[in-house]
């Protein structure tokens, strides 16, 4: 298996863990993902929504950028 295939496999595995295992773990601990978000951000308000949107956009941008750069830097 080439290094690029291993990189993509690890990326896919990480996404699957984040999408399926972490919500299951939160349910097992006694609260849902919605409860987690409610406890984290509290009651919805325009200020908190703006902060959540900014954090989400920044995380997606830099996360995607780092994955693309990592993939391109692997020489095969």
pLDDT per position as a tens digit, 9-32: 988 998 899 888 888 888 898 888
Instruction: With a cut of 90, say whether residue 57 has pLDDT above it.
Output: yes
pLDDT for residue 71: 86
Give long-range contacts, CB 8 A cutoff, 24+ apart: 46-53: none
pLDDT per position as a tens digit, 25-53: 888 988 887 887 788 777 878 888 888 88
Residue 68 CA to residue 76 CA, distance in Å, equals 15
**Which residues, including other chains, have CB under 8 Å from residue 7's CB and lie 6 or more apart?**
70, 71, 74
Instruction: With a cut of 70, say whether residue 76 has pLDDT above it.
Output: no
* Residues making up the chain, counted from first to last: 76
């Amino acid at each position: 298996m080439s290094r690029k295939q291993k990189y993509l496999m690890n990326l896919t595995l990480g996404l699957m863990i984040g999408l399926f295992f972490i919500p299951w773990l939160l349910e097992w601990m006694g609260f849902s993902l919605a409860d987690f978000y409610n406890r984290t951000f509290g009651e919805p308000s325009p200020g908190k929504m703006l902060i959540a949107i900014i954090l989400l956009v920044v995380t997606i941008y830099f996360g995607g950028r780092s994955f693309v750069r990592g993939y391109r830097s692997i020489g095969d």
